[in-house]
Amino acid sequence: MDRELKLPFSETLNEIYIEMPKFVLPLHECDTLYKKWLYVLNNIEIMERLPQELNNQIFRKLKSIVEVERMTPDQRLEYELSLSVERDLSAALDTSFEDGMEKGIEKGIKKGKIEEQRLIAANLRKQGINIETIAQCTGLSIKEVSAL
């Protein structure tokens, strides 16, 4: 509202002003997220020991932000470096895992093809086809075909 003219700026815009020291609602009576936010903003010092009522993702994130903001410059630098190392290690592990999966899949496919060739060779042998012909068609050695 315009203070001099006492007219609202807009018919659709509403603003609510809260004097934080006057917000004295206890936490157990804060039944909405909005009231919990007001409680936290009025009692930011409690973020060191997060109450059970505020133990959800958004307030845990706020707690971690508050902890970082309270750090000295040296502590913050150390924290940032440790985060960097952790992210690098995580990326390296993810890459190693993906490489290992690719190699494992390739090895499995190769092993599967060999097993398939042996199965085909065994079936051809049961049909009475010549061992040399089976070896030539499957790519197996004559010794391998004979052992089937």
DSSP 1-54: --TTT---S-SS-------GGG----GGG--SHHHHHHHHHHTGGGGGS--GGG
pLDDT at residue number 9: 73
Question: Is 121 inside a domain boundary?
Answer: no
Report, as an integer, the average pLDDT of 73-101.
87
If pLDDT is split at 50, 70 and 90, which confidence band does 56 have?
confident
Task: Report the number of distinct structural domains present in the chain.
Answer: 1
Q: What is the pLDDT of residues 4-38, one digit of tens each?
A: 887 777 777 777 777 888 888 888 888 888 888 88
Report, as an integer, the average pLDDT of 41-55.
77
Question: Is 28 inside a domain boundary?
Answer: yes
Go through the chain and tell me how many residues it has. Answer: 148
Question: Is 101 inside a domain boundary?
Answer: no
Question: Is 18 inside a domain boundary?
Answer: yes
How many Å apart are CA 37 and CA 56, to the nearest integer?
12
Highest-pLDDT range among 2-16, 47-61, 98-112? 98-112
Question: Is 94 inside a domain boundary?
Answer: no
Report, as an integer, the average pLDDT of 47-55.
75
Does the pTM exceed 0.85?
no
Whole domain around residue 26: which residue ranges? 1-70
Question: Is 103 inside a domain boundary?
Answer: no
Are 53 and 28 in contact by the 8 Å Cβ rule? The answer is yes
